[in-house]
Amino acid sequence: MSTIHEALRARTNRTPGAIAVACGDHELSYAELDAAADRLAARLLRFERTGPVGVLHRRSVYHVVALLAVLKMGEAYVPIDPRLSPAARAEFLRDAGVRILLSDGAPSDADAALGLPIVDARADEAGGVPVDVGRVPPDALAYLMRTSGSSGRPKVIGISHRNVVDLAADPCFGAEEKLRVLLHSAEAFDASVFELWVTLLNGGQVVLWPEPELDIATLSRLVTGLQLTRIWLTAGVFAAVAAEHPKALRGLREVWTGGDVVPVDAVRRVQAAGPGISVVNGYGPTETTVFATSHAVDDPVGFTSDVPIGRPLLGVRAYVLDDNLWPVPQGQIGELYIGGAGVARGYEGQPAMTAERFVADPFNGEGSRMYRSGDLVRVGADAVLHFAGRADDQVKIRGFRVEPGEVEAALLRFPDVARAAVTVRESGTGQRTLAAYVVPAEGCAPEPAELRARLGAHLPDYLVPETVLPMVSFPVTANGKLDRRALPDPPVPGRARGSGTTPGTRREELFAGLVISVLGIAEAPVDQGFFELGGDSISALRLVARAAGAGWGITLRDVFAWGTISELAKAARPVRPLETTAVPELEPVPLDDDELAMVQSELGSDA
């Protein structure tokens, strides 16, 4: 058994010249990556500070060098979500006990106040000696990641080298000869561990996508242009790609998806558009190292009502238990407990929470532990696991794990909020959003928009409720508890401000139609924004794809940047229509002479 960097050194010795990571024209071979990480590790070791190292580098080959250098030092890396506000980031850095910060941006005041040394991994210095890779024990922590916690504080999960090396050893990852995997997931989420370390430990090439956003047309170009063989898409993104442009995935050998329920229909569409693609449903909480089980759907006829989450990966043990920890009979629903390979050490610095979730494994000998997932599952007649929902009120919002209790706790920390309740609303199109209800403290009248802004200073955007409704008091049940079901419907976003402005131009009309079709709403006043009307990052992907299908180019960044539908329509540029599958029937918008010239030159340069 070895550490991640030791296993990687073994790979490097076998194929030193093979490309390990590529970002645009910048490529590093396995040997170059190893040497660059040695140099950076030598620089970092000069600080003589022991403890985790925060990483806040934009995605480039230096990012990978940074992560590997931290591992070689024998420390855990702590990827920081750039979406966190400076205050939340500082809180996380403190909670995780970070001692050094690797960053390529200007430090915020909150970062500076922590007094940490800040190092830019891009300043590659000559010198440095190969690090003694045998120095670090396999049970040392490799990374720390945070996830939503109902107590109101995020949980910090510590994953060891052994956990990652065990994951990568599953034979399903190494079967491909020429493995090329896109690294596009945010580093703060463990899908990036799959994209990065599982690929490198299996001798493949990691291709980095440097931007935070990836639209479906670009994804399609990357898949063919870079000859990718495997990709990970969170279930929501996978479903959006399947609905809008399933051909985007043609050419891939494997598409891994999961993180949330994978719709059967989406798998069918992807396989119909790209015969031979193996769609793999990967299931697993961060606490059990990316994936605990998987199910490859090679034959679309083999399933009907749901896509199974499959069988445990190599060395993983999956138990379906009742409340007394007795195994439930086949076909019945129980809670999934996960033991064996991949189970984390626990929540760092949070022993009570660890004891609650990481319990003794009575089926696997002295000292072993299993993780109580909170997921309900059953073993089907096909002898594989099927997901059957949650045992608590944790939900996934756009692929992010959310405990509504964390948001309630954050609201209750405000002195002008006496009571708070947060519920999850699901729209007709399956989009989940949070709705908050608050009873103000005596004599206070906090404004909903202002409360949302205050929450945004502490929480990542996916934890900020879309609506906040102040109430005089909460409805209660017969025994005096909050009656969640009796809470009123949350206000419809955007409606309050809606002036009902109708489209003035044909292009505005087209964009209003696209927004209506993507969000499944009745009307879209053009003086309102896509997000005000209930859009999110996944429906934004669909909007961009549908606009491209109608011959209008907008970027995801445009959707985020422009305040209203009218401005978005103005920013759109004519493009050759993307061959999407779900363009609503809308009249084409005539082009003016300049626009016609643009399309012609685009078509010309493509020929």
User: What is the DSSP pairing of strand 53-56 with strand 77-79?
Assistant: parallel
Where does this chain touch ligand ADP (CB under 6 A) — which range of 107-115, 117-125, 183-191, 585-593?
183-191
Where does this chain touch ligand ADP (CB under 6 A) — which range of 165-173, 209-217, 284-292, 409-417?
284-292
Nearest residue to the partner ligand ADP, using Cβ: 258
Where does this chain touch ligand ADP (CB under 6 A) — which range of 20-28, 29-37, 134-142, 277-285?
277-285
Classified as helix, coil or strand, 312 is strand
Confirm or reject binding of residue 281 to ligand ADP (CB under 6 A): yes
At its nearest, how many Å lie between ligand ADP and the CB of residue 264?
12
List the one residue out of 133, 87, 138, 77 whose CA is nearest residue 111.
87
At its nearest, how many Å lie between ligand ADP and the CB of residue 141?
17
Instruction: Catalogue the E-assigned strands of 380-416.
Output: 385-390, 395-397, 400-402
Measured CA to CA in angstroms, residue 493 lies from 6, 339, 356, 531 at distances of 52, 43, 38, 9
At its nearest, how many Å lie between ligand ADP and the CB of residue 260?
5
Our CB check for ligand ADP shows the closer of 334 and 513 to be 334
Among 246, 258, 308, 551, binds ligand ADP (CB under 6 A): 258
Q: How many CB atoms lie within 10 A of CB 27?
A: 15
Where does this chain touch ligand ADP (CB under 6 A) — which range of 127-135, 254-262, 439-447, 597-605?
254-262
Alpha carbon distance 241, 216 (integer Å): 7
At its nearest, how many Å lie between ligand ADP and the CB of residue 396?
6
Residue appearing with tokens 């989406």: 266
Where does this chain touch ligand ADP (CB under 6 A) — which range of 47-55, 186-194, 266-274, 526-534?
186-194
Alpha carbon distance 544, 532 (integer Å): 17
Where does this chain touch ligand ADP (CB under 6 A) — which range of 184-192, 240-248, 356-364, 496-504?
184-192
Rg, C-alpha atoms of the chain: 25
At its nearest, how many Å lie between ligand ADP and the CB of residue 157?
8
Measured CA to CA in angstroms, residue 232 lies from 10, 30, 196, 428 at distances of 26, 22, 11, 26
Alpha carbon distance 569, 553 (integer Å): 10
At its nearest, how many Å lie between ligand ADP and the CB of residue 429?
19
106-110 long-range contacts (CB < 8 A, ≥24 apart) are 110/86
Confirm or reject binding of residue 203 to ligand ADP (CB under 6 A): no
Where does this chain touch ligand ADP (CB under 6 A) — which range of 220-228, 258-266, 347-355, 497-505?
258-266
Confirm or reject binding of residue 414 to ligand ADP (CB under 6 A): no
Distance between start and end Cα atoms, the chain: 53
Site string for ligand ADP, 422-441 (x = CB under 6 A): --------------------
Longest dimension (CA), the chain: 77
Our CB check for ligand ADP shows the closer of 12 and 234 to be 234
Our CB check for ligand ADP shows the closer of 403 and 508 to be 403
List the one residue out of 124, 119, 18, 34 whose CA is nearest residue 77.
119
DSSP tag of 498: -
At its nearest, how many Å lie between ligand ADP and the CB of residue 289?
10
Our CB check for ligand ADP shows the closer of 390 and 495 to be 390
List the one residue out of 209, 205, 208 whose CA is nearest residue 179.
205
Please name the residues in contact with 470: beta carbons below 8 A apart, sequence gap of 6 or more: 437, 438, 439, 440, 445, 446, 448
> Residue 468, class by beta-carbon neighbours within 10 Å (0-12 exposed, 13-18 middle, 19+ buried)?
buried
Confirm or reject binding of residue 285 to ligand ADP (CB under 6 A): yes
The residue count for binding ligand ADP (CB under 6 A) is 22
Our CB check for ligand ADP shows the closer of 286 and 537 to be 286
Contact (Cβ atoms closer than 8 angstroms) between residue 405 and residue 330: no
Contact (Cβ atoms closer than 8 angstroms) between residue 146 and residue 79: no
Q: Which residue type sits at 369?
A: R
Site string for ligand ADP, 362-401 (x = CB under 6 A): -----------x-x-----------x--x-----x----x
Structural tokens at position 9: 């050194």
Where does this chain touch ligand ADP (CB under 6 A) — which range of 89-97, 185-193, 312-320, 490-498?
185-193
Residue 560 exposure: Cα atoms within 13 Å on the Cβ side = 11
Q: Which residue type sits at 312?
A: P
At its nearest, how many Å lie between ligand ADP and the CB of residue 293?
8
Residue appearing with tokens 């959006």: 240
Our CB check for ligand ADP shows the closer of 73 and 309 to be 309
Measured at the alpha carbon of residue 158, what is the angle toward residues 154 and 160, in degrees to the nearest 5? 165
Confirm or reject binding of residue 259 to ligand ADP (CB under 6 A): yes
List the one residue out of 58, 73, 66, 54 whose CA is nearest residue 145.
54
At its nearest, how many Å lie between ligand ADP and the CB of residue 359?
16
Our CB check for ligand ADP shows the closer of 284 and 551 to be 284
Classified as helix, coil or strand, 40 is helix
Among 70, 297, 309, 436, binds ligand ADP (CB under 6 A): 309
At its nearest, how many Å lie between ligand ADP and the CB of residue 402?
9
List the one residue out of 174, 395, 401, 136 whose CA is nearest residue 287.
401
Structural tokens at position 582: 């779900």
> Helix 235-244 to helix 537-549 angle, to the nearest 10 degrees?
20
Among 21, 67, 165, 191, binds ligand ADP (CB under 6 A): 191
Our CB check for ligand ADP shows the closer of 249 and 569 to be 249
Site string for ligand ADP, 133-152 (x = CB under 6 A): --------------x-----
Our CB check for ligand ADP shows the closer of 195 and 408 to be 195
At its nearest, how many Å lie between ligand ADP and the CB of residue 405?
16
At its nearest, how many Å lie between ligand ADP and the CB of residue 147?
6
Strand partners, 359: 370
Among 209, 238, 256, 283, binds ligand ADP (CB under 6 A): 283
At its nearest, how many Å lie between ligand ADP and the CB of residue 2?
25
Contact (Cβ atoms closer than 8 angstroms) between residue 566 and residue 509: no
Among 12, 286, 433, 537, binds ligand ADP (CB under 6 A): 286
Residues 464-503 that bind ligand ADP (CB under 6 A): none
Using CB under 6 A, list all residues that contact ligand ADP: 147, 189-191, 258-262, 281-286, 309, 373, 375, 387, 390, 396, 401
